[in-house]
Structure 1
């Protein structure tokens, strides 16, 4: 039979209820906001699983959308680039660490068997079952949750900064490829003109109105243009590979560059607006959240100077009393 210390158990129950009420509200300072943000990003992205390592295959609609310009490439990169996916997973893992930081330690369940039973009035004590719950100093959990949530916010800002870096990388690769193709098109037109001029000079040589040196000079220009065009063909293949790598797709995807660049212009915003935008860059703000996380971690460590509390309950298995008729026997 089980002999329960009722008074102690009642006290433990009241203490546990109070502790749950106290520690259950130890949500991190930024926890609600960061959980809302990560749910929004998760709903916007449906990352495919690529196990081949060769990149993501696109649907016909996605491939056709690339002809609309650089914005379509950026949107596709944010969907398929593995660096973006890795940054998101790091952010998601940091969010999960918030609840762990504010969680009470695991309770301890113990069992002890008396090799030699302890004789009591109500019978021999044979075994004991114990349950204990530790409660750290309240600041340990609240500050720990604040540190974890601030760190999650910092990693979120790094995710946003990574998105901006990917967008910049895609745009750079796109316009580099566009420039190569546009320059090659101009060289090809120039080559056609030079070849036409070569035929004209060749005809004039036969009539004596032009010299052979003139034809040789024109043919040399044509040869140089052909060599430049061949070099641009190789540069185009390299630029195409860089663009495909930036958007994280397979190597056989056709990457059109039909959109011409807009006219260059200076920023229309004031200097103060530009400075504020630079200061609000995700990589800059992530450092502020890292500082907040470090301060909260310091407060959590400082809480170790204060006592922690442990409450528990013991159940003692007691056999029947040797003497018959003993009250509360067993």
Structure 2
């Protein structure tokens, strides 16, 4: 007589409970190590100083940096990628899910103790022990690399925002200078018209009106350019407010008191781009170590139980008793050609990352030196304009206007002196913006080092 379905269900349940105890023992070690790995990544997050947050408090650019760090979509994407990699650490380096297999015999196999009706097997794959730890190392290094990549993306956005704000600041200052220049020219037009009405030559008035039209054209272009640059900046900030101008209030940067060479050293020691490749190098090392384990076997253990019905002869010893079996398996890494190819692939990948790291270090050093040169050049231009060129240009303009009013010079001399002063004032503020931009670029290249 066959056993009832309820009896068979109880047998299966007891089997699962017994195997669950064995499985938890095997899995315990993996859970402990994964938890420790997650703690190491958390320590990395806690120990790192987020220089980008400090930069959000710097000068007039700081508020825009703060807004970009909060709302920029590319930064949100980079952070989500890191969080995904961080979450994957929990699933890396743990035992694979066990496999439950149920077999029901269409035709029962008759044995001495009764007919075999169905079989249930629970099996757990167990890779070579160090393979699991290597997988954890890979996942952890990958998460660290993506974290440094997220920080690197922050600095890239900060650099773009700073340059955008400073370019707009220069354009607004140039627009202000052009408006003052136009106002002076319009006053001069009134003087020249009076002279023309008194019998003076008309050609001077025409020259002046042409100059006024050119300044108005420059004003129109500068206004459109400010609106265009502001729109591009809002895209970086992650918010569309439809502003046409920022109306920034800013000053020429003060001279640096600290040594510029500090930026060069910090650009290699603190660069998140370099740290990202260093983490990828660690990941490549772990992948190479894992690949070298490909020639080692993996194992599997399991329990097999066969449900048996009552024997034809009910007096038969062990009639209806379910047999148990312990199943042990081992993989056979026979294909050495394929295994060696995996090792070579991992080795070349590791060499590629190392070469990229060296190339990046050279590139960052070159960019840092270039920006230091650009900063020094901008500071020298500021000094020349402030101490020599602008005072001379203002003096020449005053002399030209005075000479014109006394009849010793024509209107062309006044126009030329005004135009020269306008161009020099705009170049002065362009040098100021370039100096600020170079400082921000050096700060982002060096991982957030701000020099006063």
| TM tier relative to shorter chain | 0.7 to 0.9
TM-score normalised by structure 1 residue count? 0.82
Give the counterpart of 1:32 among 30, 39, 43: 39
CA distance in 2, matches of 1:222, 1:200: 14
2: CA distance between counterparts of 1:217 and 1:196?
A: 15
More off after superposition, 84-93 vs 95-104: 95-104
Q: Distance in 1 between matches of 2:77 and 2:155?
A: 15
Q: Which residue of 2 aligns with 1:149?
A: 140
CA contact (8 A) 1:177 1:239 kept: yes
CA contact (8 A) 1:29 1:149 kept: no
Count of residue pairs the alignment pairs up: 303
Question: What residue is the counterpart of 2:229 in the other structure?
Answer: 239
Deviations 1:171-218 (A, max 9, x none): 11111111111111111111011011110111122224x422221221
> In the alignment, what sits opposite 1:263?
253
Q: What's the TM-score, normalizing by structure 2? A: 0.61
- Give the unaligned 5+ runs of structure 1: 42-64
* Distance change in 2, residues 1:14/1:230 (3 Å): closer
Q: Deviation of residue 14 (structure 1)? A: 7.6
Match of 1:311 among 301, 311, 333: 301
1:116 CA displacement: 2.7
Larger deviation, residues 106-115 vs 161-170: 106-115
Aligned equivalent of 2:202: 212
- Which has more helix, going by share of residues? 2
Instruction: State the distance in 2 between where 1:254 and 1:128 align.
Output: 77
- Deviation per CA, 1:156-181, whole angstroms, max 9, x where unpaired? 10100100010111111111111111
| Contact residue 120 and residue 305 of structure 2 kept, 8 A | yes
Instruction: Calculate the aligned-residue CA RMSD, in Å.
Output: 3.1
Pairing partner for 2:218 from 209, 220, 228: 228
Mapped contact 2:64–2:161 kept (Cα < 8 A): yes
Matching residue of 1:82: 73
Aligned residue number for residue 97 of structure 1: 88
1:27·1:146 contact (CA, 8 Å) conserved in 2?
no
Q: Give, in whole Å, the separation in 1 of the partners of 2:16 and 2:189.
A: 106
- Distance in structure 2 (CA, Å) of the matches to 1:172 and 1:10: 65
Distance (whole Å) between structure 2 residues aligned to residue 9 and residue 173 of structure 1 = 64
Pair 1:297-2:287 in alignment = yes
2:143 pairs with 1:136: no
Find the counterpart in structure 2 of residue 329 from structure 1: 319
SS in 1 for 2:192: helix
Counterpart CA distance in 1 for 2:111 and 2:234 is: 81
CA contact (8 A) 1:27 1:142 kept: no
- Residue in 1 that maps onto 2:278: 288
1:276 equivalent to 2:266? Answer: yes
Instruction: Tell me how far apart the structure 1 counterparts of residues 257 and 312 of structure 2 sit (CA, whole Å).
Output: 96
For the Cα contact (< 8 Å) 1:174–1:257, is it kept in 2?
no
Cα distance change of structure 1 residues 255 and 156 upon mapping to structure 2, 3 Å threshold? farther
Deviations 1:13-65 (A, max 9, x none): 78645422332333388632424666999xxxxxxxxxxxxxxxxxxxxxxx9
Q: Which moved more, 1:273-282 or 1:220-229?
A: 273-282
Q: Distance in 2 between matches of 1:249 and 1:28?
A: 39
Q: Aligned ranges for residues 146-185 of structure 1 at < 5 Å?
A: 146-185=137-176
Aligned-partner Cα distance in 1 for 2:113–2:46:
60
